[in-house]
Amino acid sequence: MQAVILVGGEGTRLRPLTSRQPKPVITLVDRPFLVYMLEWLRGHGVDDVILSCGFEPTKVRAALGDGSALGLRLRYVVEPEPRGTAGALKFAEDLLGDRFLMLNGDVLTDVDVTAQLRQHEATGATGTLGLVDVDDPSAYGLVLLGDDNAVTGFLEKPGPEELVGVDRYLISAGIYVLERSVLDLIAPDRNVSIEREVWPRLVGAGLYGAPAEHAYWMDIGTPERYLQGTFDILEGNVRTGVAERLGVGYLAVDADVRADGRIVPPAVVAAGCSIGTDAHVGSLVVLGPGVTVGPGARVERAVVLDGATIGAGCEITDCIIAPGARIESGAVVRGGAVIGDDVRVGPGNVLAHGIRVFPGTELPDGAIKF
């Protein structure tokens, strides 16, 4: 089975995490983010994946290679300029077969794609949209279905008056099964939205929806969702390969970790980490390779990535610390803060309320108490 994954965006909502790395290859727990999608697809019989790239394609290719390490074939196409969701698909046309999956590369999920493929085959559909339920539909576009799961229409960010009679709030999961004939509906060499320009033309002409049952789905597009996705992986709320590493104790600590403090599961502590006396790490913590946590520091509900240093007595809670950052003694980082690569946060700083500090910044002692 073949799949096209759209990974062309710049990941602006995730900055500063994506200031130096494209979103598909930023680390999520212990592997590049896109690897979760590739492993999931491989489990559903996908063996040929085309990555439609735009931003920093060389870094994506360097991180993921030809796919052989993941048990599939990876090929890359690079848009000459942004062409929208349908335009990106059209640009990959020469590599596509008679039937393929198309996916939004921002998604962490364990949706049963095999069931979606079965439904597509059974209905003789031209396109089948993977759908997931939401509790609050006001921020999404709803997909409306008939009794046979044929798509009957769409509601874009509906208000309460538009929801009368709608008994299930279904949104697109960014997972599509498509026949090659869909490509004939896309004009070449221009920016085309598949959601706005292609799906409406297929209503009543072979477009179906496949509601997912008991599935996890999240768009990892903001720091808040990145953190929540991390916690869900650690807790096993989404089925991933990390669960095997964590085991029944929900704890993965590499053999060479020096831990003189306490580690509370669920947590992942990578190779080369050092945890000082009376330090507290966990629960819901990821420490990347080579992280140092100083004596008496407390790290909870947080991600601290490769080579970062947490000084003595620091409080690190509900936040993300990017590679190479230095949080010096007694500083506090909490409340959704995101600290970029190679940032220095001096003693006495208090960073909270979702503040973002971009790569290379130096904050002198006591500069911010936010």
pLDDT tens digits, one per residue of 9-30: 777 889 999 999 888 999 999 9
pLDDT at 349: 96
Contact (CB, 8 A) for 119 and 206: no
* Full-model pTM: 0.93
- The pLDDT confidence band at residue 81, using thresholds 50, 70 and 90, is confident
Contact (CB, 8 A) for 246 and 39: no
Cα 143 from Cα 152, distance rounded (Å) = 8
pLDDT at 37: 96
pLDDT at 111: 96
Helices (H), 103-222: 113-123, 199-202
pLDDT at 97: 95
pLDDT at 160: 66
> To the nearest 5 percent, what fractions of the chain are helix, strand and coil?
25, 30, 45
> What integer best gives the mean pLDDT of the chain?
93
